């Protein structure tokens, strides 16, 4: 099994076919496989997610309607082999995100009211600069810096966030925030080992958490004067700390027969330490938490998770001809806890994916893929209910389709 007989299948097997509908805000999977390609290499891709997520009000058969929006994200990568022992790479991706809009007029107004509907949008961008040292043909030691931007907006409307469900003095329905774009830096480091003759490649990559201090514009139309006053204080502006989580990726592949490779990816993300508590919202949550109904004297977060995410994908890639290769893969994601936020009410997934790659010439390819996600059932709760068994809606039997397209060029 020489490398040249497996090269087409290997390229496809080492890059994700599509983006992911992963736990919490995880999206791209933060792969560095492009940096580990031999020689000089460039790739660009787009992933599109089409989710179908709806739920029912707790204890009823009343639907809250489809609430997960379609979205797309992009990635590009450039890898240069500067010398036989040193390499350089740039990777752009959009690692974390959310796109949620609850429809109005769906059953009881759990997530909407006459002033608006509950929605959330989060966007991040990463640019990773990587330097690699290859002391031998088999080893690659690499590390570098990461530049990250984050922005977003959130609106809370309806009974799920009102005094009727929380406490008479704690009405957050009508709360709005806009997170101004902020940039910050982090780092990554890893090691890879390969035996080209048998198409074996393994890599372990660590990415640090990245700390942001963002300016959040907050306002409230709450009918509870005290809460609205706290949220609207200081013209609704305040500094808020948001730390995107650290993660570890383990990637492995090996030839198992002529023209065939098996591959696996395991990813861990520390969502259990992630939380968003905007400045004025936090002050208002302390006031609301004093209520014996809520009983959280230290306040509560707008968004948080109880568990870390662990996801895994395993599959097989096969060279079908000199120009065609294909993959099949299955994946699993644990989710980040249950009950979970109303702004992302699923708990992990199972998925199955198919990919196909066409190589008109040995130095470039076009690859496409599709994945079907069976999303885990979840109980959705507001921030005031976090870390308790209380919840407002059940989200069951949901799914999603993901599609990806990628081009790659070796030069």
At the topology level, CATH places domain 3-410 in: Porin (2.40.160)
For the chain, give every domain's residue range. 3-410
**Residue 229 φ/ψ region, left for φ over 0, alpha for ψ in the -120 to 50 degree band, beta for the rest:** alpha
What confidence score (pLDDT) does residue 288 get? 87
Q: What are phi and psi of 36, to 5 degrees?
A: -95, 5
- The span from the CA of 274 to the CA of 177, in Å, is 18
The answer to whether 41 and 11 have CB atoms below 8 angstroms apart is: no
- The span from the CA of 396 to the CA of 377, in Å, is 5
What confidence score (pLDDT) does residue 371 get? 94
Q: Look at residues 334, 400, 330 and name the one whose alpha carbon lies nearest to residue 21.
A: 400
- The span from the CA of 343 to the CA of 9, in Å, is 39
Q: Does the bond joining 78 to the residue before it have cis omega, within 30 degrees of 0?
A: no
Q: What is the pLDDT along the chain (411 residues), one digit of tens a residue?
A: 444 445 554 455 444 455 567 888 999 999 999 999 999 999 999 999 999 999 999 999 999 999 999 999 999 999 999 999 999 999 999 999 999 999 998 777 999 998 899 999 999 999 999 999 999 999 999 999 999 999 999 999 999 998 767 776 678 999 999 998 999 999 999 999 999 889 899 999 999 999 999 988 998 887 776 777 777 765 567 789 999 999 999 999 999 998 899 999 999 999 999 999 998 899 889 988 888 888 899 999 999 999 999 999 999 999 999 999 999 999 999 999 999 999 999 999 999 999 999 999 989 999 999 999 999 999 999 999 999 999 999 999 999 999 999 999 999
Q: What is the pTM of this model?
A: 0.94
3-state secondary structure the chain: CCHHHHHHHHHHHCCCCCCCCCCCCECCCCCCHHHHCCCCEEEEEEEEEEEECCCEECCCCCECCCCECCEEEEEEEEEEECCCCEEEEEEEECCEEEEEECCCCCCCCCCEECCEECEEEEEEEEEEEEEEECCCCCEEEEEEEEEEEEEEEEEECCHHHCCCCCECCECCCCEEEEEEEEEEEEEEEEEEEEEHHHCEEEEEEEECCEEEEEEEEEEECCCCHHHHHHHCHHHHEEEEEEEECCEEEEEEEEEEECCEEEEEEEEEECHHHCEECCHHHHHHHHHHHCCCCCCCCCCCCCEECCCCEEEEEEEEEEECCCCEEEEEEEEEECCCCCCEECCCCCCCEEEEEEEEEEEEECCEEEEEEEEEEEECCEEEECHHHCCCCCCCEEECCEEEEEEEEEEEEEC
């Amino acid at each position: 099994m020489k490398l040249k007989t497996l090269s087409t299948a290997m390229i496809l097997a080492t890059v994700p076919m599509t983006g992911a509908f992963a736990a919490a805000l995880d999206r791209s999977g933060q792969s560095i496989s492009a940096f580990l390609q031999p020689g000089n290499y460039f790739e660009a891709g787009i992933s599109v997610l089409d989710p179908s997520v709806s739920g029912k009000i707790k204890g009823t058969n009343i639907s809250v309607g489809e609430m997960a929006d379609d979205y797309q994200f992009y990635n590009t990568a450039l890898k240069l082999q500067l010398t036989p022992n040193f390499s350089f790479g740039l990777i752009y991706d959009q690692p974390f995100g959310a796109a949620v809009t609850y429809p109005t007029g769906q059953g009881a107004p759990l997530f909407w009211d006459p002033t608006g509907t509950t929605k959330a949008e989060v966007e991040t961008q990463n640019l990773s600069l990587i330097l690699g040292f290859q002391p031998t043909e088999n080893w690659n030691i690499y590390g570098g810096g990461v530049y990250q931007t984050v922005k977003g907006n959130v609106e809370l409307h309806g009974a799920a966030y009102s005094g009727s469900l929380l406490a008479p003095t704690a009405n957050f329905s009508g709360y709005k925030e806009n997170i101004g774009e902020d940039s910050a830096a982090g780092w990554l480091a890893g090691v890879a080992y390969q035996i080209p003759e048998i198409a074996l490649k393994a890599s372990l990559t660590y990415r640090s958490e990245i700390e942001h201090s963002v300016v959040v514009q907050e306002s409230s139309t709450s009918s509870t004067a005290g809460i609205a006053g706290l949220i609207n204080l200081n013209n609704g502006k305040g500094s808020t700390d948001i730390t995107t989580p650290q993660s570890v990726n383990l990637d492995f592949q090996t030839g198992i027969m002529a023209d065939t490779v098996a591959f696996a990816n395991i990813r861990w993300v520390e969502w259990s330490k992630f939380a968003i508590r905007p400045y004025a919202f936090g002050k208002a949550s302390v006031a609301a938490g004093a209520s014996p109904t809520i009983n959280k004297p230290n306040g509560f977060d707008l968004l948080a998770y109880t568990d870390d995410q662990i996801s895994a994908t395993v599959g097989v890639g096969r060279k079908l001809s000199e120009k065609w290769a294909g993959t099949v893969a299955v994946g699993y994601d644990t989710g980040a806890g249950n009950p979970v936020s109303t702004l992302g009410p699923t708990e992990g997934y199972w998925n199955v994916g198919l990919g196909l790659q066409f190589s008109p010439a040995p130095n470039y390819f076009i690859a496409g893929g599709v994945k079907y996600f069976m999303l885990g059932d979840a109980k959705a709760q507001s921030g005031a209910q976090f870390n308790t068994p209380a919840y407002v809606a059940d989200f069951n039997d949901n799914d999603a389709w993901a599609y990806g397209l990628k081009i790659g060029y070796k030069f």
